[in-house]
Amino acid sequence: MYKGRLTAFGQLWRHGLLLVAVLFALGPILWVISASFNPSNTIVGQSLIPANPTLAHYRQLFQDPRHPFHLWIWNSTKVAVIASTLTVALTALGAYAFSRFRFRGRRGGLFTLILIQMFPQMLAMVAIYLLLLQLGEVFPALGLNTHAGLIMVYLGGALGVNTWLMKGYFDTIPRSLEESAMMDGATPFQAFVRIIMPLVRPILIVVFMLSLIGCYSEYVLARIILQTTDQYTLPVGMQLFISDQYSSRWGIFAAGALLGALPIVIIFLVMQRQLVSGLTSGAVKE
């Protein structure tokens, strides 16, 4: 009887803690949703359920020619998808090489990747700006105020930790699969593309999603590199809504934040099963 009471108390405590965590996570989201429908256009002193909810903020998002909200979402989606796709491709090649091949400098290269990842790109903001400024004089398509330049910057900061993450997953794939394919006449590249890549699809989706979320929501580097309204990504463009009227534009800002988050939420829900399997299967020894 006493043991049963302890078990019931333990379950109650765990469920209570889980409920508190869920409320803590959902609280800000519910507050932003409320602000997007609040006609007072402020986030201070509002109630969770607005007295006179309105859709005016959502309509204003697509009616103000000075703030092309739909273009910002397209720019963010384009930059994030291209950068994430290239990150997956380059990371897969690098992780496969570190996992399967033995060469001089292999261990040092792995530790160098993780060491570089310890220093955020923010520390190199001035260097990145000057590099793109000079690069734009030779190749204008890769200079400042270009999406291609921003994508190249994102790629530079995404390979380190993702290579380690993907390498751990490659280590779980038996080498005998590739050896059997090559004995049947496949080249090493064909074995990699047709045998290994389908088997590591979960970790590819994990890396793609992590990169997508990071690039889609990144603000600081995009604000430095992009300089005109038509080139802005969503985080940079959203800042214009409250830059000159900080205390009286929260309604439209909240509406834009909710609509801007929908693509990521939908993709996350669709791929959540692969995300879970990919994150839990790569934690193995080298």
Give the pLDDT score at 286.
44
Provide, rounded to the nearest whole percent, the portion of the chain with pLDDT above 90.
Answer: 17
Give the pLDDT score at 172.
85
Contact 171, 284 (CB under 8 A): yes
In single-letter form, the type of residue at position 260 comes to G
Question: pLDDT tens, 47-58?
Answer: 677 777 888 888
Question: pLDDT tens, 75-91?
Answer: 999 999 999 999 999 99
Give the pLDDT score at 268.
81
Q: Is residue 202 part of a domain?
A: yes
Q: Is residue 34 part of a domain?
A: no
Contact 237, 106 (CB under 8 A): no
User: Is 241 buried (19+), middle (13-18) or exposed (0-12) by CB count in 10 A?
Assistant: buried
Q: Is residue 235 part of a domain?
A: yes
Distance of CA 253 to the CA centre of its chain: 21
Q: Is residue 12 part of a domain?
A: no
User: CATH no. for residue 103?
Assistant: 1.10.3720.10
Give the pLDDT score at 216.
93
Question: pLDDT tens, 269-286?
Answer: 887 776 666 555 544 444
Question: pLDDT tens, 81-140?
Answer: 999 999 999 999 888 888 888 878 778 888 887 777 777 777 788 888 999 999 988 988
* Pure H helices in the chain: 2-37, 56-61, 69-100, 106-117, 125-138, 147-156, 159-170, 175-183, 188-191, 197-199, 201-217, 220-225, 234-243, 250-270, 272-281
Number of domains in the chain: 1
pLDDT confidence band for 9 (50 / 70 / 90): low
Q: Is residue 67 part of a domain?
A: no
Asked if the model's pLDDT at residue 245 lies above 80, the reply is no
Residue whose tokens read 């004089």: 137
- The pTM of this model reads 0.83
Asked if the model's pLDDT at residue 72 lies above 90, the reply is yes
- Residue 100 in tokens: 């399967």
Q: Is residue 2 part of a domain?
A: no
Q: Is residue 226 part of a domain?
A: yes
Count CB atoms within 10 A of the CB of residue 240. Answer: 17
**Residue 115 domain boundaries:** 74-281
Of 148 and 29, the structure prediction assigns the larger pLDDT to 148
Q: Is residue 16 part of a domain?
A: no
How many angstroms separate the CA atoms of 243 and 245, rounded?
A: 6
Give the pLDDT score at 195.
85
